[in-house]
Chain A
Amino acid sequence: MVFADLFFIYLFIPLCLLCYFLAKSINAKNAVLLIFSLIFYAWGEPVWVVMLIGYAYLNYKCGLLIGRSRNKPAAKHALLLAVIVDLGVLGVFKYSGFFVENLNALLHISIPVPQIRLPIGISFYTFQTLSYTIDCYRNKVKVQKSYSRFLLYVSMFPQLVAGPIVRYSTIAEEINHRSVSQADIAAGLTRMIRGIGKKVIIANSMGTIVTGCFGAADQGYPGVKTVSALGAFLGATAVALQYYFDFSGYSDIAIGLGRIFGFHFDENFDYPYICKSITDFWRRWHISLSSWFRDYVYIPLGGNRKGLKRQCINIMIVWALTGFWHGASWNFMLWGVYFGVLLLIEKLFLLKRLEKLPFWVGHIYALFLVIIGWGIFHFDDLGALGKFFGALFCLNGNPFSSAITRNILSSNIFLLIAAVLFSFPIVPAIRKKMIKTEKGYYLANSLTIVLNVAILIVSSLMLVNNTNNPFLYFRF
């Protein structure tokens, strides 16, 4: 099941809310959440839900074992087992096909390529359980003694399919004790509805622009050969906006839903497009993922404590992995390495110089590189990627601008402007200004309510036309 769907919004959510708030005790509430989470997952993965349950059980057992045998070799073994199982599951489901294909191509052999469909959300929940067992081992969280609660943590539907990667430490307390205030519910609903709006109204429409510029992915991006330079840039900008509003929209829905149920997930996006450098961008983009890699890969590798050379290697490893996490395809690896190199350059000398320049220089510099990066991210076919770069710099013999580009631009101009504005923190800024006076305060609050209603209605209308509602996380 996906969030941006009428079935989810108007059937699953109301039923879940109803049951959840009818349940009195925390155990009953947890049971309701668990059941709905499993239904949610089984809806999309009727087979793999069984694996999820078994997988969670194994990690739960490893956690118990680690807790029982602190500072003994057994703890290490349990951790090792959990890590092997978690990465093994990820490897088999996500990367086996990719590796076999490349092996075949490299060695001119033909091992049958395993045809395993990637279970939804596997990249998210494997990382979550990994963080749990490692944190257990590091003695940073208390071992969860109840299997059902641990399973609830792993399978909790708001963050199950598209993140954020919620660490166990974040919800360790709230899974045992939590209560919900009226303010929580109001904020959670608002957050959820805005997330839906971001995804349905903005991200999906941006997706149309992207297809308009480059052609559809399943047809091999037929337009990328002929698109004008301006069109290529417009397309890449639309990709950047689409991914931001889609990912952060999903995170908003997750955080909002969590809030309604009394959980407080960490923020996952912090207006990444106001960044002043690539370093800054990655502090604001998909924070739960980059901080995960920092804490469980970069620092254990030695971080920056083992000399500059080692640090550079570590950075490249982390970013190649970050890229690869997004999907078993070379372009994602390339995307990660691209950012790794940029970050290295910034770290070595550029960042210091950037700081001396006016802020807009850094901003334009970072945005340009980020947008190019999205081009790499978008084209999973390296041939099309090459054509994209050719088009971007007028090397295809394509014109600088064309009627199609101008047409797409003018017929979406207001949407594009709105999307750019909303990708900056103007809404909080306006609200902050408004609530300083009494009238403004009333107005701001009323506006919140009116906007909620309007966004929900418009999103629902747009969801009726379900032909253009991509789920971008199928590869994650």
Chain B
Amino acid sequence: MPENNKKPQPGPNTQIFNAMNEDCVEMLDRHHAEEVKAAQARKRRRPQAMPKDPQRPAERPANAQRPAERPANAQRPAERSANAQRPAERPANAQRPAERPANAQRPAERPAPRRDDAKKTVQRKARPEAAVQRSARRAEDAQKSAQRRTAPAGAAVRPRRKKKQPKYKRYQRVFNLINIAACLLLLFGIGLLLVIGKRASGFLQSENRNLAEFPTFSLSSYFSGDYTSDITYYYTDTIPNREGLRNLANKFTDHFGLHKDDVEIIGSPVQADKGAVESSKPEGGNAVTVYTGGREETTTSAAVTTGSDAAAVSDSAVSSDAAVTETETQPAETEPVQTKKRTEIPDEGEVVNQSVIVSGKGTPEVRAMPMFGGIYDVGKQYAGVLNEYKAMVGDKVNVYNMSVPLSSAFYCPKNLAANYSDQHDCIINIANSLDKVINIDVFPTLQEHSDEYIFFRTDHHWEPLGAYYAAQEFCKTAAVPFVELKDMEECTKENFTGSMYGYSGYLEDLKTWPDTFYYYKPKNEYTIQYYDETFTTPDTSREQTLFYSWADGVNTYSTILGGDLDIAEIKTDVHNGRTLVVIKNSYGNALIPFFVGSFEKIYVVDFRYVEITMKDFFQRVGATDVLFGMAMSSCYTPGHIDAIREIMQ
């Protein structure tokens, strides 16, 4: 090393080095050295096993005898070649204490070749040449000695071994054989199993995606490197019993530490503003009143009660409940295309993917929550985009914002809460920047009901019950009628293990204690029609219904609206002239059934997929109310805010 400038004097430091050196002996090389020794003990062809002559080429003839060798000797030439690499080391080693501290570049500093230099000179014929060459050679010597330090096994151990060789060490060969057999058996055995074993394929529930398929060859995919990397990916992704194996691995990694406070953070932290929000404006930040265009606000009460015979509610709920569970599993198989299509949908905001908080591990109350970190400036950008919308649509169309908190807003373990943004502050932060946009702050309402089942424990969405309370808040502000829960039909889906199972790295507890998905069907009359992303052609490939009973597994939440891709148009028997456009991420889906008794028309648009500008869209559908209803994570994700701005006009 360049920086070592010491003179080659044996001293206390040298000894430490040597002692260390011995400690550092790689045990693997030791195996080898012992092997050499064992061979010597058998007194066979000692000269070859222990080269004295540093001239490598001269030793080669040993190879010539190989064909005649018995198995016991078969390894001998190999040892030769093992040694061949450092033939000059043995003599050099004799004086190791002397060269130890000097190993770096000392040779280069000294004009006269030292002893080991001289020996090396024998090895590769000395050429009395320019100083450049000599120094270069010395440099290599220096390198060699550096190597010796690091690969001292053969060098350091061998001479000592000469003294005595315990008898039992002759079993080294046996151990080696068993070792090789065990390793190769594993490599080849598992290798063969993976080749002939039946590969997993199809839809992976826990991760909401299809397993990789073997790539098809094309020149372009080959030259881009995709073909080969896809094969590698396929190989690992479709390993038989993949999930079982991953669970095994998780069981192992669980022992990396203690999990005593039963709270676990998975993934990476988020950046968050935690300071108090500016309170220049009053909370809510707006004194906007709802414009109802002189329409009669209460006309719809009749419609609300249509078909909802209060007395029959409980009965019908029970019976339809049973009906739902029956039909649930059946159509799932008959619509594989649908299933695949849905897998392409990317999931929620990045925040969710980044990190997961788990509480109550090992109990039925186990809950995995997405962390949330919000930067106030980002929230202000979001508010700014909504203000642009409001400016675009003018005073006659109401624009609302409903930023829905994530479950971690209410259930985050106390010891961790301080590390993340206060989600209510983040809502207020948005509200403060809104101009003429009506903010629906659902936080207090949800807080009040947080002892009820308003959020899933295993999924990143909210239970429709949570959406119900939020919708109630909205309808109150929007001055539209609202149908009480008791006037709707309750349905359930059991055994729902949601997306957090995958995000948490397969936390088994979530599978052991799954969620139940409760949803509520409106009883008034309505029709629903799905359109493609451009709102030009109706999507006829799917059943036109608000509730998809076949949605199951990790996609159970898609029971409502069947996913996010299409634009949905709902026409109800509420004749109040109010047309609501909901611009949403998947959180918004759960709200929709509760609006069926409140608006005459409802349009559901996912800002991530829609391909028509909202300006055109609002005009075409005659929007009177526009609700931005989405999870907090979207309101604080710059990419999503950009998407909302892009679809404006």
Q: Which residues of A contact B (CB under 8 A)?
A: 1, 5-7, 9-11, 13-14, 17, 42-47, 138-140, 169-170, 173-174, 177-187, 189-191, 193, 205, 211-216, 219, 222-223, 225-227, 256, 259, 262, 264, 266-271, 274, 279, 282-284, 287, 290-291, 293-295, 298-299, 303-305, 311, 314-315, 318, 343-344, 346-347, 355, 359, 402-404, 407-416, 425, 427-429, 431-432, 435, 438, 441-442, 445-446, 448-449, 452-453, 456-458, 460-466
With a cutoff of 8 Å between Cβ atoms, the chain A residues found around residue B246 in the complex are 461, 464-465
A299 and B172 CA atoms in complex are apart in Å by: 44
With a cutoff of 8 Å between Cβ atoms, the chain A residues found around residue B139 in the complex are 294-295, 299
Task: Tell me whether A174 and B172 are in contact (CB under 8 A).
Answer: no
A453 and B185 CA atoms in complex are apart in Å by: 10
With a cutoff of 8 Å between Cβ atoms, the chain A residues found around residue B451 in the complex are none
**Chain B binding surface, main DSSP class:** helix
Q: 18 A-B pairs, CB-CB below 8 angstroms?
A: A6-B194, A6-B235, A139-B129, A174-B84, A179-B78, A181-B79, A182-B173, A186-B31, A283-B1, A290-B1, A304-B2, A404-B269, A407-B416, A410-B258, A441-B169, A445-B171, A452-B179, A461-B248
Task: Tell me whether A449 and B223 are in contact (CB under 8 A).
Answer: no
With a cutoff of 8 Å between Cβ atoms, the chain B residues found around residue A211 in the complex are 267-268
Closest to B138 in A: A299
Stretch at the interface among B101-109, B469-477, B519-527: B101-109
Question: B345 at the A/B interface (Cβ < 8 Å)?
Answer: no
Choice from A184, A346, A427 contacting B32 with Cβ under 8 Å? A184
Question: B329 at the A/B interface (Cβ < 8 Å)?
Answer: no
| A426 smallest CB distance to B (angstroms) | 9
Task: Tell me whether A441 and B166 are in contact (CB under 8 A).
Answer: yes
Which residues in window 108-140 of B have CB below 8 A to A?
Answer: 108-109, 124, 127, 129, 132-133, 135-137, 139-140
| A33 smallest CB distance to B (angstroms) | 15
Q: Which of B2, B166, B173 has the most CB of A within 10 A?
A: B2
With a cutoff of 8 Å between Cβ atoms, the chain A residues found around residue B369 in the complex are none
Q: Which of A226, A290, A346 has the most CB of B within 10 A?
A: A226
Closest to A255 in B: B28
- Tell me whether A410 and B257 are in contact in the complex, defined as CB-CB below 8 angstroms, given that A138-B136, A189-B183, A425-B24 are known contacts: yes
Task: Tell me whether A11 and B82 are in contact (CB under 8 A).
Answer: no
Task: Tell me whether B82 and A215 are in contact (CB under 8 A).
Answer: no
Closest to B83 in A: A264
A329 and B472 CA atoms in complex are apart in Å by: 55
Task: Tell me whether A44 and B264 are in contact (CB under 8 A).
Answer: no
Stretch at the interface among B146-154, B424-432, B575-583, B588-596: B146-154
| A309 smallest CB distance to B (angstroms) | 14
Task: Tell me whether A182 and B74 are in contact (CB under 8 A).
Answer: yes
Task: Tell me whether B3 and A346 are in contact (CB under 8 A).
Answer: yes
| B4 smallest CB distance to A (angstroms) | 6
Choice from A177, A290, A402, A461 contacting B60 with Cβ under 8 Å? A177
A10 and B189 CA atoms in complex are apart in Å by: 9
A298 and B270 CA atoms in complex are apart in Å by: 44
A354 and B202 CA atoms in complex are apart in Å by: 63
Closest to A282 in B: B1
A189 and B185 CA atoms in complex are apart in Å by: 12
A457 and B129 CA atoms in complex are apart in Å by: 56
| A343 smallest CB distance to B (angstroms) | 4
Task: Tell me whether B265 and A404 are in contact (CB under 8 A).
Answer: yes
Task: Tell me whether A428 and B24 are in contact (CB under 8 A).
Answer: yes
Task: Tell me whether B28 and A266 are in contact (CB under 8 A).
Answer: no
A429 and B245 CA atoms in complex are apart in Å by: 34
With a cutoff of 8 Å between Cβ atoms, the chain A residues found around residue B261 in the complex are 407, 410
| B139 smallest CB distance to A (angstroms) | 5
- Tell me whether A298 and B269 are in contact in the complex, defined as CB-CB below 8 angstroms, given that A184-B78, A189-B180 are known contacts: no
Task: Tell me whether A410 and B260 are in contact (CB under 8 A).
Answer: yes
With a cutoff of 8 Å between Cβ atoms, the chain B residues found around residue A45 in the complex are 225
A311 and B2 CA atoms in complex are apart in Å by: 9
Per-residue interface assignment for chain B, residues 271 to 302, with 1 indicating a CB less than 8 Å from any chain A CB and 0 otherwise: 11000000000000000000000000000000
Task: Tell me whether B177 and A187 are in contact (CB under 8 A).
Answer: no
| A198 smallest CB distance to B (angstroms) | 13
Task: Tell me whether A438 and B168 are in contact (CB under 8 A).
Answer: yes
Task: Tell me whether B82 and A184 are in contact (CB under 8 A).
Answer: yes
Question: B315 at the A/B interface (Cβ < 8 Å)?
Answer: no
Task: Tell me whether A222 and B35 are in contact (CB under 8 A).
Answer: no
With a cutoff of 8 Å between Cβ atoms, the chain B residues found around residue A259 in the complex are 28
Task: Tell me whether B245 and A461 are in contact (CB under 8 A).
Answer: yes
Choice from B4, B25, B31 contacting A187 with Cβ under 8 Å? B31
Task: Tell me whether B268 and A343 are in contact (CB under 8 A).
Answer: no
Question: B239 at the A/B interface (Cβ < 8 Å)?
Answer: yes
Question: B26 at the A/B interface (Cβ < 8 Å)?
Answer: yes
A410 and B255 CA atoms in complex are apart in Å by: 11
Choice from A187, A269, A411 contacting B258 with Cβ under 8 Å? A411
Closest to B183 in A: A189
Per-residue interface assignment for chain B, residues 159 to 200, with 1 indicating a CB less than 8 Å from any chain A CB and 0 otherwise: 000000010110111011111101110111011101100000
With a cutoff of 8 Å between Cβ atoms, the chain B residues found around residue A305 in the complex are 108-109
A324 and B13 CA atoms in complex are apart in Å by: 33
With a cutoff of 8 Å between Cβ atoms, the chain B residues found around residue A178 in the complex are 78, 81
With a cutoff of 8 Å between Cβ atoms, the chain B residues found around residue A410 in the complex are 257-261
Task: Tell me whether A464 and B242 are in contact (CB under 8 A).
Answer: yes
| B44 smallest CB distance to A (angstroms) | 14
Task: Tell me whether B143 and A295 are in contact (CB under 8 A).
Answer: yes
Question: B342 at the A/B interface (Cβ < 8 Å)?
Answer: no
Task: Tell me whether B232 and A5 are in contact (CB under 8 A).
Answer: yes
A294 and B109 CA atoms in complex are apart in Å by: 13
Choice from A303, A425, A435, A460 contacting B108 with Cβ under 8 Å? A303
With a cutoff of 8 Å between Cβ atoms, the chain B residues found around residue A463 in the complex are 236
Q: Which of B79, B151, B183, B269 has the most CB of A within 10 A?
A: B269
Per-residue interface assignment for chain B, residues 11 to 41, with 1 indicating a CB less than 8 Å from any chain A CB and 0 otherwise: 0010010001011111111111001000000
Question: B76 at the A/B interface (Cβ < 8 Å)?
Answer: yes
| B579 smallest CB distance to A (angstroms) | 40
Choice from B63, B136, B249 contacting A465 with Cβ under 8 Å? B249
- Tell me whether A212 and B108 are in contact in the complex, defined as CB-CB below 8 angstroms, given that A44-B228, A222-B270, A461-B245 are known contacts: no
Given contacts A305-B108, A457-B186, A462-B252, 20 further A-B contacts (CB under 8 A): A6-B236, A6-B239, A17-B184, A139-B129, A170-B85, A178-B81, A183-B35, A186-B176, A205-B256, A267-B151, A294-B143, A295-B136, A299-B105, A403-B418, A404-B419, A407-B264, A407-B416, A411-B264, A428-B25, A428-B27
- Tell me whether A458 and B252 are in contact in the complex, defined as CB-CB below 8 angstroms, given that A140-B137, A299-B108 are known contacts: yes
Question: B142 at the A/B interface (Cβ < 8 Å)?
Answer: yes
Task: Tell me whether A461 and B252 are in contact (CB under 8 A).
Answer: yes
Task: Tell me whether A183 and B172 are in contact (CB under 8 A).
Answer: yes
A471 and B515 CA atoms in complex are apart in Å by: 37
Question: B66 at the A/B interface (Cβ < 8 Å)?
Answer: yes
Closest to B16 in A: A359
Choice from B105, B140, B231, B419 contacting A304 with Cβ under 8 Å? B105
With a cutoff of 8 Å between Cβ atoms, the chain B residues found around residue A435 in the complex are 169
- Tell me whether A295 and B31 are in contact in the complex, defined as CB-CB below 8 angstroms, given that A216-B268, A303-B109, A404-B419 are known contacts: no
| A172 smallest CB distance to B (angstroms) | 10
- Tell me whether A270 and B269 are in contact in the complex, defined as CB-CB below 8 angstroms, given that A304-B109, A453-B186, A462-B253 are known contacts: no
Task: Tell me whether A427 and B27 are in contact (CB under 8 A).
Answer: yes
Choice from B2, B32, B259, B263 contacting A183 with Cβ under 8 Å? B32
With a cutoff of 8 Å between Cβ atoms, the chain B residues found around residue A169 in the complex are 140
Task: Tell me whether B191 and A270 are in contact (CB under 8 A).
Answer: no
| B50 smallest CB distance to A (angstroms) | 15
A9 and B189 CA atoms in complex are apart in Å by: 12
Question: B379 at the A/B interface (Cβ < 8 Å)?
Answer: no
With a cutoff of 8 Å between Cβ atoms, the chain A residues found around residue B5 in the complex are 304, 347
| A276 smallest CB distance to B (angstroms) | 9
- Tell me whether A262 and B78 are in contact in the complex, defined as CB-CB below 8 angstroms, given that A7-B232, A11-B195, A453-B182 are known contacts: yes
Task: Tell me whether A449 and B175 are in contact (CB under 8 A).
Answer: yes
With a cutoff of 8 Å between Cβ atoms, the chain A residues found around residue B263 in the complex are 407
With a cutoff of 8 Å between Cβ atoms, the chain B residues found around residue A344 in the complex are 3
Q: Which of B142, B186, B255 has the most CB of A within 10 A?
A: B186
Task: Tell me whether A222 and B249 are in contact (CB under 8 A).
Answer: no
